Chains A and B, each alone.
Chain A
Amino acid sequence: MKVITAYCNLRAGECLVNGEVVARRDTGSEDSWFKQIYKQHELAYPKFYKMDVLSQAGYLASELIKRANPGISEVYADDEIALVFANASSSAETDRRFIQSYQGGGSPSPSLFVYTLPNIVLGEIAILNKWYGENMFAVLPKFVPGFYLDYSRILLASGSRALLCGWLEVTAGSTDVFLFMVEEKEKGTEFNEENLLHLSQTGAVAAY
Chain B
Amino acid sequence: MIYIGAEVIVSPLGDTAEANWEALSVNRTGIALTPAVGFNKEDIHLSRIVGLGGPLRFQQLVIKALAGLKNRIDASILTSDRTMVLISSTKGALDDNLHDQFGETCSAVMQQFNLAHLPIVISNACISGVLALNVAGNMVGAGQYEHVIVIGCDVASDFVLYGFQSLFAVSDKACAPFDAARNGITLGEGCAAALVSGAKSVFKNTPLQLLSGTSANDANHISGPSRTGEGLVRSVSRTMQKHGIGAEEIDFICAHGTGTVFNDEMEAIAFDRLSLSEKPLNSLKGYFGHTLGAAGVIETAVCMQMMRNGMLIKSLGYRDAGTSQPLNIILENEPKKLRTILKTASGFGGGNASLMIRDL
Asked whether, in the complex, the Cβ of B122 is within 8 Å of the Cβ of A136, the reply is yes
A137 to B124, CA, bound (A): 6
Residue of A129, A141, A153, A157 touching B118 (CB-CB under 8 A) = A141
Question: Are B217 and A123 closer than 8 Å at their CB atoms?
Answer: yes
- Interface residues in A94-112 by Cβ distance below 8 A to B read 95-96, 98-99, 102, 107-110
Q: Which residue of A lies closest to B293 (CB)?
A: A117
The reply to whether the CB of A140 lies closer than 8 angstroms to some CB of chain B is yes
- Contact: B138 with A108, CB < 8 Å? no
Contact of A79 with B by CB under 8 A: yes
Instruction: Assess whether A131 is in contact with B217, with CB atoms less than 8 Å apart.
Output: yes
Query: What separation, in Å, do the CA atoms of A9 and B57 have in the docked complex?
Result: 37
| Chain A residue at smallest Cβ distance from B241 | A159
- Name the contact of B219 in the complex, choosing from A95, A110, A130 (C-beta under 8 A): A130
Closest to A113 in B: B163
Q: Is B76 an interface residue (CB 8 A)?
A: no
A residues within 8 A CB of B124? Answer: 119, 122, 135-137
- A76 an interface residue at 8 Å Cβ cutoff? no
Q: Is the CB of A90 within 8 A of B103?
A: no
User: Which chain B residues in 134-192 approach chain A with CB under 8 Å?
Assistant: 135, 138-139, 141-142, 144, 159, 162-167
Instruction: Say whether B90 faces chain A, with CB atoms less than 8 Å apart.
Output: yes
B123 at the interface (CB under 8 A from A): yes
How many angstroms from the CA of A104 to the CA of B286 in the assembled complex? 34
B102's partner among A90, A108, A154 (CB-CB below 8 A) is: A90
Which B residues are CB-close (under 8 A) to A114?
A: 167, 222-223, 348
A139 at the interface (CB under 8 A from B): yes
Q: A92-B99, A110-B166, A135-B217 are in contact. Are A154 and B120 (CB under 8 A)?
A: no
Residues of A within 8 A of B351 (CB): 119, 122-123, 135
A107 / chain B contacts, CB cutoff of 8 Å: 39, 166
Q: Which residue of B lies closest to A141 (CB)?
A: B103
Q: Judge whether A117 and B348 touch: CB under 8 Å.
A: yes
Q: Give, as a whole number of angstroms, the nearest-CB distance from B216 to chain A.
A: 5
The reply on B12 being an interface residue by CB < 8 A is no
The listed residue (A88, A157, A159, A171) touching B142 by CB distance below 8 A is A157
Q: Please report the C-alpha to C-alpha distance between residue A97 and residue B219 in the assembled complex, in whole angstroms.
A: 26
CB of B204 closer than 8 Å to a CB of A: no
A99:B159 contact, CB within 8 angstroms: yes
A184 contacts the other chain (CB 8 A): no
Task: Please indicate the chain A residues that have their CB under 8 angstroms from the CB of B163 in the complex.
Answer: 98, 108, 110, 113, 116
**Could you tell me the distance between the alpha carbons of A58 and B197 in the complex, rounded to whole angstroms?**
35
Known interface pairs A122-B349, A141-B103; A132-B121 also in contact (CB < 8 Å): no
In this assembly, does B227 line the interface, its C-beta being within 8 Å of a C-beta of chain A?
no
Is B49's CB within 8 Å of the partner chain A?
no
Verify A154–B222 contact, CB threshold 8 A.
no
**Chain A residues, Cβ within 8 Å of B222:** 114-115, 120, 123-124, 127
Residue of A nearest to B165 (CB): A108
B212 CB to closest chain A CB (Å) equals: 9
Q: What's the Cα separation between A201 and B293 when bound, in Å?
A: 32
Q: Which of B17-25, B59-67, B230-238, B315-323 contacts A (4 or more CB under 8 A)?
A: B230-238
Q: Give the interface of A toward B (CB within 8 A).
A: 78-79, 83, 88-90, 92, 95-96, 98-99, 102, 107-110, 113-120, 122-124, 126-127, 129-141, 147, 150-151, 153-154, 157-159, 171
- Interchain Cβ contacts under 8 Å between A and B, 18 examples: A79-B216, A79-B234, A88-B103, A89-B101, A90-B102, A92-B101, A114-B223, A119-B124, A127-B222, A133-B216, A136-B122, A138-B120, A140-B120, A141-B118, A150-B139, A150-B144, A154-B139, A159-B238
Give 3 closest A-B pairs by Cβ, nearest first. A123-B349, A113-B163, A126-B217
**Contacts A132-B234, A154-B141 supplied; 13 other A-B pairs, CB < 8 Å:** A90-B102, A90-B123, A122-B217, A122-B350, A123-B217, A135-B215, A139-B122, A139-B123, A153-B144, A154-B135, A154-B142, A157-B142, A158-B242
